Amino acid sequence: MKKMIRMTGASILALAAMWPALGAAQDTALTIALPAEPANIDGCNTTVTGIGVIVKENIVETLTTISPEDGSIQPRLATEWEDIGDGKYRVSLREGVTFHDGTPFDAEAVAFSIERLQSQEISCLDRTKIAGIEITTDIIDEHTIEIGAAPAQVLMPTLFSFIGVVSPNTPTDALSRSPVGTGPFAFEAWNADGVHVARYDGYWGEAPQVSEATYVFRGESALRAAMVEIGEADIAHDIAPQDAVNPDIDIPFLNGETTRMRIVMLPPLDDIRVREALNLAFDREALLGTILSDRAQIATQFILPNINGHNPDLEPWPYDPARAQQLLDEARADGVPVDREIRLVGRIGFFPNQEEVLQAIQQMWAAVGFSVRLEMMESADWLRLVNRPYPADREAMLIQEQHDNNNGDAAFTMRFRYHTDGQQSEMNNAEVDRLIDTAEQSVGEERTLAFQEANRIIADEVIPAVPMYHMVSYMRVGSSISYEPNVLSLIQLELADITFN
């Protein structure tokens, strides 16, 4: 009973708090509708979609950032960095920066954050990005720190973009739901109404126009869109193509995600003709502008064109059902069991309308004579199929996958998915292994070319997948504000980039 009374009290307060917001003439408070409530908003989980979109560079800043345009590394809390050999970098830190709790930002804080990120006491998700790498720190002076990696990392400045710096007062034994960083916005509250942040007056950079923001969580795409339409929210994140009906306010953007179907290359899919046939029988153009946005791009490989190592010379597969049928017939004549039923395993919740997409492809394949059974799976069930070690009694199948490499370099994709020892790799190709090994240890053009060559071999000679699309999301942006979504907007939405009309 006490709880209920308290709750009613809270609602009255919340109601009272809403009035000034409704009445203010120059209102620079925003409401942003997101699809799902995150579990936490810790500064060491900034690379996770639902968390980063709130935290990253708004509340907690990273040492460096990646430019959404060209993938280049930009200074943020680190102003300069220099490779001093032996896997070590000397990093100069920005001066005159304070955390929201008043603690000064210095080398100590950076060392603390790096130690916390790697702590065995908590599961920081950003650690995924530095898996297998041990990062050490050496404090030189208040604003200079040496950061080392073992084994040495060519992409060290990129790794800096995964290191969110949190106040040294952050608990080290639990993930935080009230992060304290150095960003232009300070965390205020997280309650039934959502997550509240407010402009931080002591911010080192330019003061943003937005004074405060509330993140609310609504699972229904149509409802998020409606909230912006009637002025309850200013931004609706990630709305479905069919709800994006007003081109003035619904902005499509490449969201950094790429989809494909991984091929488990066992009979009959061990025969390259059959894999070619799968690709040829799939009319990729047909789904664009119908089930999927017309702004989605047909993918030739698993990384986006702005990623270092993307091979621009690869051509999308043509739609040629006759050729597909011919290849199948040839394979059948050679005794390949092409008529065997093949499972197509989808995972729930990758992108809007995905079941329709899968059903459509299933039909296209059926049209040339494949017998494909579509199975939708819940995440945990699906995961049992994608990670090594694979079960011994595995069968040929197609696995729907989606991947986002937002880190500017193909290294975050290649070994994991294509190297013989990759955790989710189906491949065993000596040349590709060699190219990936070489690329990872090189810089500049050599690195780019090695990755590009690996991608060519994969796409032209191995065909371990049915590449699909570089995906598009829609963001509905209310007419009172301006915001230009970019390839990172799904995981990083800087309130400071929003201006008022």
Partner 1 sequence: MSDMTLESQHSQPIAQRRIGLVFMLRQDPFAFAAVVVLVLFALLAVLGPTLLGDIATSMNLRARNAPPFELERGFWYLLGADALGRPILARVILATRTTLLIAGAAVLLSMVVGSVLGLIAGYRGGFLGDAILRLTDIVMSFPSLLLALVVLYVFDPAITNVIIVLAITRVPIYLRTVRAEVMEIRSRMFVTSARVTGAGPVRLIGKHILPMVFPTIVTIMTLDFAFVMLAEASLSFLGLGVQAPNVTWGVMVAEGRNYLSSAWWLSFWPGLAIALVTMSLNLVSNWVRMVIDPVQRWRLEGKGEK
Partner 2 sequence: MARHFAKRALWSAISLFALVVAVFFMSRMTGSPADLYLPLDAPTEMRVQFEHLHGFDRPVYEQFFSFLGDLLRFDFGMSLRQGLPAIDLVLQALPTTLLLAFYSITIALVVAVVTGALAAWRPNSIFDRIATVLSLIGASLPNFWVAIIGVIVFAVTLRWVPTSGTGSVAQWVLPIAVLALRPAGLIVQVARSSMISVLSSAYVKTARAKGAPSRRILFVHALRNGMLPVITVAGDQAAGIINGAVIVETIFGFPGVGKLMIDSINYRDFAVIQAGVMVTAIAIFLMNVLIDLAYLGLDPRTREEMV
CA-to-CA distance for 74 and 447, rounded, in angstroms? 20
- Residue 132 interacts with partner 2 (CB under 8 A)? yes
Q: Could you tell me if 269 and 395 are in contact, meaning their C-beta atoms sit under 8 angstroms apart?
A: no
- Residue 254 interacts with partner 1 (CB under 8 A)? no
- Residue 175 interacts with partner 2 (CB under 8 A)? yes
- Residue 473 interacts with partner 1 (CB under 8 A)? no
The CB-side HSE value for 185 (13 A sphere, CA atoms) comes to 29
CA-to-CA distance for 184 and 210, rounded, in angstroms? 10
Alpha helix positions (H), 125-265: 156-160, 221-229
Nearer to partner 2, 22 or 392 (CB): 22
How many residues bind partner 2 (CB under 8 A)? The answer is 51
Nearer to partner 1, 32 or 244 (CB): 244
User: What x-and-dash track marks residues 316-355 binding partner 1 by CB under 8 A?
Assistant: --------------------------------x---xx-x
Helices 321-333 and 354-368 cross at an angle (nearest 10°) of 60
CA-to-CA distance for 46 and 34, rounded, in angstroms? 16
Of these, 125, 265, 487, 495, which contacts partner 2 (CB under 8 A)?
125
CA-to-CA distance for 335 and 332, rounded, in angstroms? 5
Q: Could you tell me if 490 and 350 are in contact, meaning their C-beta atoms sit under 8 angstroms apart?
A: no
- Residue 376 interacts with partner 1 (CB under 8 A)? yes
Span near partner 1 by CB under 8 A; candidates 57-65, 130-138, 164-172, 367-375: 367-375
- Residue 377 interacts with partner 1 (CB under 8 A)? yes
What number of other Cβ atoms are within 10 A of residue 363's Cβ?
Answer: 11
Alpha helix positions (H), 252-371: 272-280, 284-287, 321-333, 354-368
Cα-based distances in Å from 287 to 87, 143, 224, 293, 455? 47, 53, 25, 8, 25
- Residue 118 interacts with partner 2 (CB under 8 A)? no
Cα-based distances in Å from 30 to 40, 235, 481? 21, 8, 9
Cα end-to-end span (Å), the chain = 47
Q: Which does 131 bind (CB under 5 to 8 A by kind): partner 2, partner 1, none?
A: partner 2
CA-to-CA distance for 200 and 187, rounded, in angstroms? 9
- Residue 283 interacts with partner 2 (CB under 8 A)? no
Of these, 90, 297, 416, 497, which contacts partner 2 (CB under 8 A)?
416
Which amino acid is located at 292 in the chain?
L
- Residue 446 interacts with partner 1 (CB under 8 A)? no
**CA torsion sign, 179 to 185 to 188 to 193?**
negative
- Residue 18 interacts with partner 2 (CB under 8 A)? yes
With CA atoms as reference, report the closest residue to 482 among 246, 179, 235: 235
Nearer to partner 1, 92 or 353 (CB): 353
Of these, 3, 96, 247, 335, which contacts partner 2 (CB under 8 A)?
3
Q: Which does 229 bind (CB under 5 to 8 A by kind): partner 1, partner 2, none?
A: partner 2
Binding residues among 217-256 for partner 2 as defined by CB under 8 A: 217-220, 222-223, 226-227, 229-230, 232
Of these, 12, 222, 322, 383, which contacts partner 1 (CB under 8 A)?
222
How near is the Cβ of 326 to partner 2 at its closest, in Å?
37
Nearer to partner 2, 169 or 423 (CB): 423
How is residue 441 written in tokens?
Answer: 């240890």
- Residue 177 interacts with partner 2 (CB under 8 A)? yes
CA-to-CA distance for 467 and 380, rounded, in angstroms? 23
How many H helices and E strands in the chain? 13, 21
Backbone φ and ψ of 155, nearest 5°:
-95, 30
What number of other Cβ atoms are within 10 A of residue 75's Cβ?
Answer: 16
CA-to-CA distance for 322 and 300, rounded, in angstroms? 21
Span near partner 1 by CB under 8 A; candidates 152-160, 222-230, 403-411, 461-469: 222-230
Q: Which does 221 bind (CB under 5 to 8 A by kind): partner 2, partner 1, none?
A: partner 1
- Residue 245 interacts with partner 1 (CB under 8 A)? yes
How near is the Cβ of 350 to partner 1 at its closest, in Å?
13
Binding site for partner 1 (CB under 8 A): 221-222, 225-226, 240, 242-243, 245, 286-287, 290-291, 348, 352-353, 355-356, 358-360, 362-363, 373-378, 381
Binding site for partner 2 (CB under 8 A): 3-4, 7, 11, 14-15, 18, 37, 39-40, 47-48, 120-123, 125, 127-128, 131-132, 174-175, 177, 192-193, 216-220, 222-223, 226-227, 229-230, 232, 378-381, 383-384, 386-388, 403, 416, 423-424
